[in-house]
Every structure is written in structure tokens, then in C-alpha cells.
Structure 1
Amino acid sequence: MRYVQNFIPIHDHLFLSALVALIPIAFFFWALAIKRMAAMKASLITLIISLFISVIVYKMPVAFPVMSATQGAVYGIIPIGWIIVTSVFLYKLTVKTGQFEIIRNSVVSITEDRRLQALLIAFSFGAFLEGAAGFGAPVAISAALLVGLGFNPLYAAGICLLANTAPVAFGAIGSPIIAMAGPTGVSALEISKMVGRQLPFISAFIPLYLIIIMAGFKKALQVLPALLVSGFSFAITQYFTSNFMGPELPDVLSALVSLVVLAVFLKFWKPKSIFRFAHEEAAATLSVSEPSKAISPHTRWEIVRAWSPFIILTVFITIWGIPQIKNALTGHYTGTNALLKAVNYVGSVLTFNPNVPFINNHIMNGNGQGISAAYKLEILGSAGTAIFIAAIITKYIVKISWKDWVLVLGETLKELTFPVLTIIFVVAFAYVMNASGMITTLALALAKTGSFFPFFSPILGWLGVFITGSDTSSNVLFGALQQVSAQSVGMNPILALAANSSGGVTGKMISPQSIAVACAATGLIGKESELFRFTVKHSLFLLLLICIITFIQSFFLTWMVP
């Protein structure tokens, strides 16, 4: 039994078909933003709606969308759910052993100002983790750190999601752009160059935008020098690395440069007043002429020891992201290095890719080719495993007993049951939308906008990331369509490919997966609708900026296209 994807299932009416395909997405928006429904319930109902539409409208045999949903559910567990569990577990270990209090004091010793703490952790440190790992780890870890510092959980989650906009296109050692190069046949470096001529405008703006959201325009101006240092150091590095080095290192290097430059800058410059949240006991502002509390009471060794779990995590995540090592960890290494060959053997044993029953190569795409479908279980290769190893090493550094270590792990698993279930339903919904052809139906409708396509091109990327939760998946999904549509309307295909990736980054903050990750990390379980309402307006605003930039580059600043 086979199913041939039909992207216009309703009597050859594309836009009517697109309206039907839009129903699950529209319901999810309504459920979270207006009804304020619990995310797990909203995602489960959305999954059920997508299953019904795939069977009734798209005429899929019942087994096909059901098995597609199981494929997505497995991916929701590994790597995504595994990363969330291990990230929160590591954080809770530092809290349980009192190490996080030392971390908090060490950050305060750099600056007590909440605005500047957000820049250091949400923007710079979060971008570094995105560049090294991606898949939810940056938001989970940086948001947990901010909550530990005393940030309101909703603000911590929202700020980290928003800050994550800047690095997503080059996340996980350039995976989104490298993945797009394959199916489109366009050089990854050329796509990287074009993305590097769009996103730096947004990256330079994000720090200012973050602080305006946090504290208002006037209080943002009070730290304008720091905002300029943070944003422009990141943006300039992002431009040069993406244009002259390729897509692998822009995030890692931009994050490190902005983190170091801002930390050094704060040694010589202080804001006139210290900003704190209204709910804190201290006054909202404190004159720097008063006795300083910004001197850490801990020794340098104590600070290093407290930070060591996250230092180790960073080292392991970076190692896991190196292409050759990642190949070995998943059993795909073909080189001659003896150590990597040994790792490759273990990785092959712990990597399982069984075919999905009924649907593997039985769903035919628009070109009549069978689409492979396999459960992706890369146990050793998952970034979550790197974090788990860091948690094991942390056990010896913070000197916690195995009994307490296991108890903390049990508490974490119990606490994250519902968020992980939410992610399972969400990813299952994304896979059903993709397998049935609903996503492509929506993309084809947007591609019919003719001369306005350069403006609407980033919306495809935004839509893809909202549904799949991944800029990489969105680029693979829509890359070829962007390329063909651009050629048909006279738009430079490289610009369209870059617009897909750049537009996609603005959808990350409202992706149900991202929302669930952020809520799980900050203790907002059950309040996903509040976070969604917080981020959705910012997502649409930043998407509009990308649409305008792309339109201008297509018609007026054509010299910017490589």
C-alpha cells in the first residue's frame, strides 16, 4: 500500500486546500493565545485534528499518519526530551549542593544589574550553547540560570527565547545551513554569506530590544553603551565569520567575543543606577555611590568549582558538535583515526535506526520518489548524553552521594513528565503535517504571491520552524521550494534560501517545542499559554523586519547578494 502526496487535495483549489491545512496551526494559536489552554492538552488536540485532516481531506490510509506520529514521538523523546531532562538535572544538582548560590554571587560580582546579567547569560552564553548544541539546550540552561539568579520565571523564559533569535541560523555547528546545501545544490558558504548579510542587523538590535522589554525604553538607554558593545561585537563577528569562514563557527565565535568584550567593558564602565525587578526586596534602583555589594565572598577556586558543571557541560557539548566526532558517536565515522574508530564501534552499538512500519518508502513525494522513514535513536550521539556525562562528573566535583544524585534525577524525571509529553505530541503533530503534505500545501500558497514573494519568502521559514521546532528541518523542508519559487519570479535563489533560514529564527521563540522546553526549565509547567502570549508579538515583529530586509535586498540593495 502506498500514498502519493497530494498537495492540492480539494478539487484543485490551492488556497482552499491551504485554508484546511492551516486549521491545526490556527487551532494551536487559538488554544494557547486566546483560550489559554494547557499546552499538553492543546498539543494533543492539535495532533488529533491533524490526524483527522490527513485521513479525511488528504486521503491518507489511517496507518500512515498514525505511524508518522510515532516517528515524531520518538524524536520528541530523543534527542529533545533527553536534552531537557539532563539540562534541568544538571542545574538541580548545583542547587541541591549549594553551588548555584556561589554561581549567583559570582555573576553579581561582575554586575548586580539585571539588564546586564540578561545580556551576559541569555544573549552571549545562550548563543554559545546554541552554536555548540542547539536542540533546546541553550534555552533550558540559560533560562534555569536566570531563574536561579532571581529572575521572574516568565521573564527568564521569554528573554532567553527572544535572545535565542540571533544565533539559531548557525546553530549546532552550522547544521541549518549545511542541511540546506544538500537538497538545493547551492554551496553552504554562499548561503552562509547571505544569511550573514541579514541576521547581523537583527543581532545588533536584539540586546536593545531585550532590555526595552525587560525595563522599558528609558532604562534601556541607561545601559546603551553596554548594549552597543554586546550587540555590535556579536553582529560584526557574525558577519565576518559567516562570510569568510563558513557556517560552522559564527555562533561560537560571536558569542565568545560578545561575552568577553562585555565582561571586560563592565570592568571599566558601570551604569548610573542598578536595575532590579519590582518584586525584589532591594529598591528598583540603587545608586552606585552606595556601598557596593558586588564583591564575591568566595575564593576564586570556589567560584571555579561552582561553575565547573557548566564548564564541563560546555566542553562536552562542543566536543559532541565536532563533525568527525559526531559521526563517530553515531556510528558513521569512515576515517582512520584509531580512537575515533573505537568510539565509532560503541556509537554504532548505541545507534538504532529501525524503519517505521508501513510508511518507510511508501509515502511518495511530488516527484514520485519514496520518502524514507526511520526512528532516529542516537543514544551516544545525542547532546543530552554529553550533558548526562557532565552530570556524572559533577557528582564527584560537588561531592554529592549516589543516593542523593539518584533522588535528584528522580525528582527531575517526575517534574518533567508533562513537559516531555507535550513535546512528544507537538513533534508528532509536525511529522503528520509533513508526511501528509499539509506543510507543502501552505508553502505552495505563499509561493503564489508573485512579485511580492521576496517579502513573503521569510514567512515560509517562520512557518517551518514554528511547526517543526527546528531551523534545520525548515531549511530541508522548504529549501528546494524557495529555490524554484525564487527563480520563477526573478528573485535571486540564494537570497530566498537565506530568507528561509533568517525568517525561521523568528519562529523559534513560539515553536511549541521551544515553549515547552523553556517552561520545563523555569518551573512554568502548565503556564505555556502565558509564555506563548508573551513571545508571539515579538516573533511577528521580528519576522516583519526580516521580510522588509529581504524585500529591500531583492529590489534595491541587490549588491548585498553574493
Structure 2
Amino acid sequence: MYKQVLDPVGDSLFASALVAMIPLATLFILLGGLKLRAHIAGLAALAVSMVIAIVVWGMPFGTTVAAATEGAAFGLFPIMWIVWNAIWIYNMTVDTGHFAVLRRSFATISDDQRIQAVIIAFCFGALLEALAGFGTPVAITAVMLIAVGFKPMKAAAVALVANTAPVAFGAIAIPIVTLAGLTDIPKEDLGAMVGRQTPLLALFVPLILVGMVDGARGVRAVWPAALVGGVTFAVGQFVCSNYISVELTDIFASLLSVAAMVGFLRVWQPGDPLLVENEGGGRPAIAGAAAHDAAHEATVRRREGHGKDSPREVFEAYAPYLIIIVIFALAQVGPIKDFLANGAHKFTWPGLGEVTNADGEPPSAVTYNFNWLPAAGTLLLICGLITMAVLRISPGRALRSYVATLNQLKWATLTVAAVLGLAYVMNISAQTLSIGTWIAGAGGVLAFLSPIIGWLGVAVTGSDTSSNSLFGVLQVTAAKEAGLDQTLLAAANSSGGVLGKMISPQNLAIGAAAVGLDGEEGELFRRVFGWSVALLLVMCVLVYLQSTAVLSWMVV
């Protein structure tokens, strides 16, 4: 039996929280400061968290190992299961030359890379977040940016920063639905409140992306287009979350945003466009030469050329992403969703059956959900099989591409397994709860600090859903004790959490692996950390003002 305790260090919550921060400090210092590879930093931080769990929190050795293995398993499924299949689909389009066609097609909308960053990473990424989540937008949009000519590091950084505003409503609003179930606050109220917070991020993010691509000069040149994309997304997110449907919020907002941008770009284009900085993309096509197929190689080389593409080739270039949208949309249809749900199985992870929280109940983290059929990764695998048929890829070539993908992602896989192992050890031992509870005791300034709790949860776990599961009830309890609005602080947990997504080692590993930069996670972390903190500060100020008379009218 292991009962979670929040203040094992001298019965002091403050001292316990400081000790609990040591694994996180280890992770980010090794990653961002000493520039170690992410899998090494992750394994080191995992080891530190296990020692602290055993020595300080008193968790039995076997229970600690079980927590670490459950986290690693969750890292492999469903997280890396999504990434493997998403990158496999991309690699197949590279092998056939269809990504070169896609690059030229995007150029017909605008050949300006600053605008392409907004359309691909922000608008299309939001749609992928709406349908799948769990790292899928970062993996797919990063390689799409490479396809239109971005350098790998810039592509990964832009994809990570773009994956912010949509996250709270991602995967058909799973983070908010989960939060509602834990706090007993209606999902409509939570969704409406989040819809009065995250749209502010949507106003800033497109301009930030443009600045990341081309600095202040770029912002001055294309701010009208960036503003159109951001404002329409923000309006769509607010309207849908408050008046239409929480689950459809990101789908509605992303489609509205991309339609507005495409329409606007028909009548306006920047006078001095920023053209491709790395012609042909950052990764060469594997092409038919690898398979000694002369006819295939000739077809690929023609597609990678600069000639006019036929309507069929353009359709085939977009087909994998159209297939993803259709399959994920169909998966939300009542009868199909019910059928897929039959392939989900929950069980208590071996070795964690006797863990209880302070109330004597098992924490939610000890339950492993093996939802093999409705998982986003499984749906992406189905999309990949359909893509094989549409692009006429032989099973042998598709299998070779899958093996190459697994090899490409081997270090990212180890990183994600280590980081999720760290997250689960910290969660189940109550190290993370000690940190969150200490912050929650801040009294009057709790509203300002509330988004930081959610940010911390996502930075550790890589998931807004997991952060809401971890800290949602804590936020509501702290709000009640501080005399603050419970819906406001619960929503702030989710809204603040979205800004931890870009610095989560899990997502850093996914982004780096997607663009072929294994081992460069530290550099990627340094590129996005400042934006994460700056936007978090904006969210903290907003939530604080919403808790006062200044913006209390915004509270549900």
C-alpha cells in the first residue's frame, strides 16, 4: 500500500515542492543549458525522480518501477503510435514525389513563406489538433513546412509555437470534456470560459509566426494577412465554444480561418514576398532509386521538377491530408464512434493497484486506457493504408518506408518513453501534486498563478488532457477556498496549459524527429521557450483581470 503525501520534507509543503522540482530542473538544465540530447536528459531526469520518489516520498521500489513503466507504455501508446503513423504517411509522399507537387500547389495560394507559415502551421495545424491532437499537428505541419522550403529547425520551431491556441479544444475537446467530468462543472460552461481566454492567443500567434520567419520586417510586410487569420480564428473559437458546440470549436475556427485567408489573398499579396530559402525542401526524396525501380524513379524525378502538375497529381498530393480529415471526421459520427469505442479497454496497471490519494481513492493515473481501435494512431494507420491505394504504393515499398520511419524516430521514441515515465513517477508519487498544491495556496494572487499550474502540467506530461486530469480538481478546490470563481480557475488550467505544449520534451522530441534533427531538442527548446513564457504571462494577466472587476464581465 502506498498513500500519497504532499509534504514529506519536514511536514513543509514549500520544502517538499522545492525538492519535487529537482527532476524538472534536471531535465531542463540538461536539455537547454548543457545541450545534452533529449533522450539522455529524459533518462537522467527519470532516474532522479525515481530516487526522490523512493527516498523522500517513501514510495516502494516496485511501485516506483511500475509507475515508470506505465508512463513509458503511455509514451509508446498512444503518443508514439500517432507519430509513427503520421510520419510514415509523410515519408510515403516523399518517396513518390507528391510532396514536391504539394509545395508547388501551396505556392499558388502564396509563394510567401511568412504566409505559408500561418496557413500551414496555424490554420491547418489547428484542424489537425481538432481531429487528432497528441503531437499530430507538430509532426505533420513541420514536414509540410519543409516541403514548401523551410529549413528544418525553423520548420520545427514554427510548428511548435503554432500549436497553442487550438490545444484546449483539441481532439474533439477531450481536455475540456475530461476537466468537466472531474470537476462536475458543465462542459458548456468550461468551454465557454476557455473560449473567452484562448482566442486572445490566436490574435498574437500568427504575428509571432511571421516574426519567427522574417523578423520585424516580415511583420510589417504581411501583418494584414496574419491579422485576418488570427482574428477569424479567434472569432470562430469564441462563437462556436459559447454558442454552438464545444466539441466542434477548433474545426469551425480552423476552417473559417483558412477560408478567410485564402479569400483575402485573392485580393491582396505582399509587395516583397519572402521566397523559398531552401529550394526543394530540407529532406531529399528517397525516390525510386532506393528500390531500383526505373519507372518509379522517373515519375518521382518528374514530380520533383518544375513543370506543370496535372489535376490528378495535385489531387494525389493533397489526398493524404484529405483522407486524414475525412477519416477523423467519420470517427466522430455516432454509430462509428460507438463501434470504435468497443476497442477500448481500461485496467489498473500491474503494481499500482494499492496506490491511493489523500482521500483513500486510487488516482486516475494508475488506470491505463488501451484504446487500440479508436486511438488517433490507429486511425492514422488506416489513413496510411488508404493513401497506399490512392498513390498506388506497393505493400513492399510501404513496408520499407515504415521500417525507415521507425529507425528515423528511434531516439524520439526513447525520449518520449523516458519523459512520460518521469511524468508518471512524479504524478503517482505526488511530487507534481506537491508543486501544484503549494502554488494553489497563494491566496489572492492565485488567479494570476493559476495558468502556471496548467502550464507546468503540460510541460511535464505533454498533454492538456493529462494536466487537467492532474490539476483540475486542485484548481477548483483552491478557488473555493480563495473565494474565486471555480469555472474561471478550472478553465485557466486548460488555457495556461496550452502554452506548455511547445516546451514539453515529448513535443520537442516529436518536432525534432519529424524534421530529421534528432539530438537538437535543446536548440529547439531555446528557440521556443521565450515565446512560451511571454504568452503565459499574457494569459496570467488576462485571468487575473477576469477575477477582478476590470474584466469580470467576461466570466461565465
Which residue of structure 2 lines up, in the alignment, with residue 287 of structure 1? none
Q: Deviations over 1:386-428 (max 9, x none)?
A: 1111111111221222221111111111111111111111111
CA distance in 1, matches of 2:332, 2:519: 32
Q: CA, structure 1 residues 539+255, in 2 after alignment: closer, same or farther (shift >3 Å)?
A: same
Which residue of structure 1 lines up, in the alignment, with residue 317 of structure 2? 306
Which residue of structure 1 lines up, in the alignment, with residue 2 of structure 2? 3
Identity score, percent: 41
Which residue of structure 1 lines up, in the alignment, with residue 237 of structure 2? 238
Which residue of structure 1 lines up, in the alignment, with residue 97 of structure 2? 98
Alignment check: 8 A CA contact 1:462 1:505 kept? yes
Equivalent residues in 2 for 1:56-67 (5 A)? 56-67=55-66
Letter of the 2:378 counterpart: T
Letter of the 1:363 counterpart: V
Q: Does 1:384 align with 2:384?
A: no
Q: Does 1:458 align with 2:457?
A: no
- Using the TM superposition, give the Cα deviation of residue 281 of structure 1 relative to its aligned residue in structure 2, in angstroms: 10
Which residue of structure 1 lines up, in the alignment, with residue 331 of structure 2? 320
Which residue of structure 2 lines up, in the alignment, with residue 369 of structure 1? 361
Q: CA, structure 1 residues 481+353, in 2 after alignment: closer, same or farther (shift >3 Å)?
A: closer
Which residue of structure 2 lines up, in the alignment, with residue 538 of structure 1? 531
Equivalent residues in 2 for 1:516-535 (5 A)? 516-535=509-528
What CA RMSD, in Å, does the superposition of the two structures yield over aligned residues?
A: 1.6
Q: CA, structure 1 residues 402+281, in 2 after alignment: closer, same or farther (shift >3 Å)?
A: closer
Letter of the 1:376 counterpart: N
Tell me the SS of whatever aligns to 2:266: helix
Q: CA, structure 1 residues 281+516, in 2 after alignment: closer, same or farther (shift >3 Å)?
A: closer
Q: CA, structure 1 residues 538+306, in 2 after alignment: closer, same or farther (shift >3 Å)?
A: same
Q: Deviations over 1:367-389 (max 9, x none)?
A: 11133634332222211111111
Letter of the 1:189 counterpart: E
Alignment check: 8 A CA contact 1:172 1:321 kept? no
- Using the TM superposition, give the Cα deviation of residue 12 of structure 1 relative to its aligned residue in structure 2, in angstroms: 1.0
Which residue of structure 1 lines up, in the alignment, with residue 433 of structure 2? 440
Alignment check: 8 A CA contact 2:127 2:255 kept? yes
Which residue of structure 2 lines up, in the alignment, with residue 499 of structure 1? 492
CA distance in 1, matches of 2:360, 2:427: 16
Alignment check: 8 A CA contact 1:106 1:296 kept? no
CA distance in 1, matches of 2:19, 2:382: 46
Letter of the 2:363 counterpart: I
1:471 is aligned, of 464, 480, 502, to 464
Tell me the SS of whatever aligns to 2:265: helix
CA distance in 2, matches of 1:511, 1:182: 25
Q: CA, structure 1 residues 296+223, in 2 after alignment: closer, same or farther (shift >3 Å)?
A: farther
Tell me the SS of whatever aligns to 1:377: strand
Which residue of structure 1 lines up, in the alignment, with residue 250 of structure 2? 251
CA distance in 1, matches of 2:108, 2:448: 46
Q: CA, structure 1 residues 353+491, in 2 after alignment: closer, same or farther (shift >3 Å)?
A: closer
Which residue of structure 2 lines up, in the alignment, with residue 20 of structure 1? 19
Which residue of structure 1 lines up, in the alignment, with residue 79 of structure 2? 80
Which residues of structure 1 form unaligned runs of 5+?
283-294, 332-346
Q: Which moved more, 1:375-384 or 1:153-162?
A: 375-384
Tell me the SS of whatever aligns to 2:273: strand
CA distance in 1, matches of 2:174, 2:307: 39
CA distance in 2, matches of 1:314, 1:517: 21
- Using the TM superposition, give the Cα deviation of residue 479 of structure 1 relative to its aligned residue in structure 2, in angstroms: 1.0
Alignment check: 8 A CA contact 2:194 2:491 kept? yes
- Using the TM superposition, give the Cα deviation of residue 323 of structure 1 relative to its aligned residue in structure 2, in angstroms: 6.5
Q: CA, structure 1 residues 521+462, in 2 after alignment: closer, same or farther (shift >3 Å)?
A: same
Which residue of structure 1 lines up, in the alignment, with residue 419 of structure 2? 426
Q: Does 1:508 align with 2:473?
A: no
- Using the TM superposition, give the Cα deviation of residue 54 of structure 1 relative to its aligned residue in structure 2, in angstroms: 0.3
Which residue of structure 1 lines up, in the alignment, with residue 137 of structure 2? 138
Q: Deviations over 1:214-270 (max 9, x none)?
A: 211232121121011101010001110011123201101100011111112111111
Q: CA, structure 1 residues 398+281, in 2 after alignment: closer, same or farther (shift >3 Å)?
A: closer
Letter of the 1:216 counterpart: G
Letter of the 1:447 counterpart: A
1:559 is aligned, of 527, 549, 553, to 553
* Aligned residue-pair number: 530
- Using the TM superposition, give the Cα deviation of residue 278 of structure 1 relative to its aligned residue in structure 2, in angstroms: 5.4
Which residues of structure 2 form unaligned runs of 5+?
282-305
Alignment check: 8 A CA contact 1:142 1:160 kept? yes
- Using the TM superposition, give the Cα deviation of residue 96 of structure 1 relative to its aligned residue in structure 2, in angstroms: 0.4
- Using the TM superposition, give the Cα deviation of residue 276 of structure 1 relative to its aligned residue in structure 2, in angstroms: 3.1
Which residue of structure 1 lines up, in the alignment, with residue 350 of structure 2? 357
Which residue of structure 1 lines up, in the alignment, with residue 289 of structure 2? none
CA distance in 1, matches of 2:468, 2:164: 16
CA distance in 2, matches of 1:281, 1:105: 10
Alignment check: 8 A CA contact 1:133 1:321 kept? no
Q: Deviations over 1:262-295 (max 9, x none)?
A: 112111111101113656699xxxxxxxxxxxx9
Which residue of structure 2 lines up, in the alignment, with residue 52 of structure 1? 51
